[in-house]
Amino acid sequence: MKTLFQKIIDREIPAKLAHEDEHCVAIHDINPQAPVHVLVIPRKPIARIGAATPEDQAVLGHLLLTAASLARKLGVADSGYRLVINHGRDGGESVPHLHVHLLGKRPLTWPPG
């Protein structure tokens, strides 16, 4: 069964795209936790970071570079931003499809909640 993100990638569910290329899509989060909250999602369905294999190294690097590029495009690169990858229930994972959260345009405290 397809995950929510696979359905978005396949255009079965609409989403506000921030970026799209052959390796990933980036969408604006529907429940943003900051003024800028974008999800960078690999097209390849990797359940979570712990399920990634050495063969996924290139796509994992691409996700991070894409997030940094989006931070510049969305105007948060200079003021600062946070990248988050959740793993498992206790880590805050809500969709079993790896994705990187890009959060910015407000002060982010540490430790996160």
At 27, is the pLDDT very low, low, confident or very high (cuts 50, 70, 90)?
very high
Cα separation, 24 vs 66, in Å, equals: 9
pLDDT at 112: 82
CA atoms within 13 A on the CB side of 53: 4
pLDDT in tens, 103-112: 999 999 998 8
Rg for the chain, CA atoms, rounded? 13
Burial grade of 27 (CB within 10 A; 0-12, 13-18, 19 or more):
buried
Fold of 4-104: HIT family, subunit A (3.30.428)
At 23, is the pLDDT very low, low, confident or very high (cuts 50, 70, 90)?
very high
Cα separation, 33 vs 87, in Å, equals: 18
Inform me whether the pLDDT recorded for 113 exceeds 80: no
List, by residue number, the catalytic residues: 99
Quick check: pTM over 0.85? Answer: yes
